[in-house]
Amino acid sequence: MKNIFIWFIAASLLLSPVVVYGYPLDGYEETGIRRVEAARLAHEGVIKGSKQPPGALLSTQQVDLRLLNHRDMNLPQPDPEFTQEIKSLLGKEADRYGISVLDLTNPDKPRFAEYRGDYRQNVGSIGKLIGALGLFQALADNWPDDLEKRRQILKNTIVTADEFSVSDHHKVRDFNVETRELSRHVIHVGQQATLWNYLDWMLSVSSNSAAAMVMREAMLMRQYGKAYPPSEEEIQRFFKQTPGKELTALFQRTFFEPLTRNGFDLTQIRQGSFFTRQGKHLVNGGGNSYATSRALMEFMLRMEQGRLVDEFSSRQLKRLIYMTERRIRYASSPALSEAAVYFKSGSLYSCMKEEGFSCGKYKGNKVNYMNSVAIVESPAQSRDLHYIVTLISNVLRVNSAVAHQSLGTWIQRMMEKYHAGEASSTPVKAN
């Protein structure tokens, strides 16, 4: 097809590297995540930076699991009327979406809507949630009854970026707490930070390099058990001398097995590779990456129930995806500014030559994947509304980021209308 050329515009893009951040603002003392401290100081006007939206001001203790008393809840059967209402929002391109919506405002009577919930595609950087799950599973397996040891591992283990981190365009925020100097840069070989900081960089700005280092650490944690962390010399020896088939088997024990152990079907959700070119070269994961909206909904529901590994792991994962800065895509809806939003997204788009068509960001005419998962507690302080949305789409030639933003608005307004008159004045308190 010599008259057709294809640009591969972007792969596994998740969240703008300059505007989207997670973890509650008071979290530095507990975690040592330096970027969180920079965000707090900026919000207070001590250093330059963006103010936080109203929904992003919950404390660490307030960002908690909301369904611990409903751990036996499974997804109910889809409500036909609710499903039709959700489908009507998708318009004429409805068959290029997969969407699941779980209304938990009254957790004793949950409502579930689903359209094409089994539609499966590559969900891009949402797969980094699976990378985090693998790490938290290995952490819990090594120290099942010692939460303080787990905290120490996360806060004190120094990770040094190596060739697994090559390469990435996402810039991370690295804050020097002592000098209060903030730098923005891509992760480079030799970059040192704690495991908590790498987790934050992976899930807040979607750094592929950080994701590769977190996934490397998860494999090492699985391999070395309570002898983790090994020395840097031992790490390099292990990956150079271990046969490829053994590394593939270790990858699958680290990232496939936690999914099945937590009740997921690998035909419906899987992360089959590293997120960097060199990571894929060094370790063959041995599988494709994909998910359905139904599988992503089950993932988010189990996290809210404390059923992803255990309560500690679920709670930390939820805090890592709490949005505490300017929001984009689904979460950028102005209707959600007062809401606490726990969010992850991923995109993949490509273009081919087409007369009259101009390729643009998130606007592919060959592939235009956009994927969003969000827990919404609205408004943040009273949590009158509580619902989960998982959404995947492949609508060609439209700005899919804007399309997801619009859906965020419409679904919020639909929830407000349905629950009108049920509002509670009870603020969110720590459990």
Task: Dig out the tokens for 93 from the structure.
Answer: 């391109």
Distance CA 81, CA 86 (A): 9
Residue whose tokens read 């405002």? 105
74 to 112, 146, 155, 316, 368: CA distances (angstroms): 11, 29, 34, 22, 32
**Mean pLDDT over all residues of the chain?**
90
pLDDT band at 182 (very low <50, low <70, confident <90, very high): confident
Which amino acid, residue 203? L
Task: Dig out the tokens for 376 from the structure.
Answer: 């919404």
Angle of CA points 321, 132, 291, to nearest 5°:
85
Strand partners, 6: 352
Q: In the chain, what is the greatest distance between 2 CA atoms, to the nearest angstrom?
A: 65
Is 168 in contact with 209 (CB distance < 8 Å)?
A: yes
Within a domain: residue 430?
no
Please give the average per-residue pLDDT across 92-119, as a whole number: 97
Within a domain: residue 427?
no
For the cut 50, the answer to whether the pLDDT of residue 426 exceeds it is no
- Short-list 220, 219, 202, CA closest to 211: 202
Strand partners, 378: 385
Is 380 in contact with 340 (CB distance < 8 Å)?
A: yes
The helix/strand/coil state of 343 is: strand
Segments forming the whole domain that contains residue 35: 7-418
Within a domain: residue 377?
yes
- Express each pLDDT in 350-379 by its tens digit: 999 999 889 989 999 999 999 999 999 999
131 to 122, 197, 218, 271, 322: CA distances (angstroms): 15, 15, 8, 8, 17
Structural domain total, the chain? 1
Task: Dig out the tokens for 200 from the structure.
Answer: 């934050």
Cβ count within 10 A of residue 192: 10
Within a domain: residue 424?
no
Which amino acid, residue 292? T
User: Is the link from the previous residue into 78 a cis peptide, with omega within 30 of 0?
Assistant: no
Task: Dig out the tokens for 131 from the structure.
Answer: 């990378």
Within a domain: residue 428?
no
Q: Which CATH number belongs to the domain containing residue 153 in this structure?
A: 3.40.710.10
Contacts 24+ apart (CB under 8 A), 139-146: 139/221, 139/313, 140/309, 140/310, 140/312, 140/313, 141/222, 142/221, 142/225, 142/226, 142/228, 143/226
Q: Strand runs (DSSP E) across 142-268, as ranges? A: 158-160, 171-176, 181-186, 192-194
pLDDT band at 405 (very low <50, low <70, confident <90, very high): very high
Q: 348-379 burial, b for 16+ CB within 10 Å, e for fewer? A: bbbbeeeeeeebeebbbbbbbbbbbbbbbbbb
**pLDDT score for 10:** 35
Task: Dig out the tokens for 81 from the structure.
Answer: 């009327």
Within a domain: residue 243?
yes
Distance CA 230, CA 227 (A): 7
pLDDT band at 305 (very low <50, low <70, confident <90, very high): very high
Within a domain: residue 330?
yes
pLDDT band at 44 (very low <50, low <70, confident <90, very high): confident
For the cut 60, the answer to whether the pLDDT of residue 298 exceeds it is yes
Of 6-10, 34-38, 279-283, 354-358, the least confident? 6-10
- Express each pLDDT in 11-34 by its tens digit: 333 333 333 446 788 888 899 888
Segment (H or E) for 318: helix 311-320
- DSSP label at residue 414: H
**pLDDT score for 429:** 46
Number of alpha carbons in the 13 Å side-chain half-sphere of residue 169: 8
Within a domain: residue 190?
yes
Is 393 in contact with 371 (CB distance < 8 Å)?
A: yes
Distance CA 409, CA 286 (A): 39
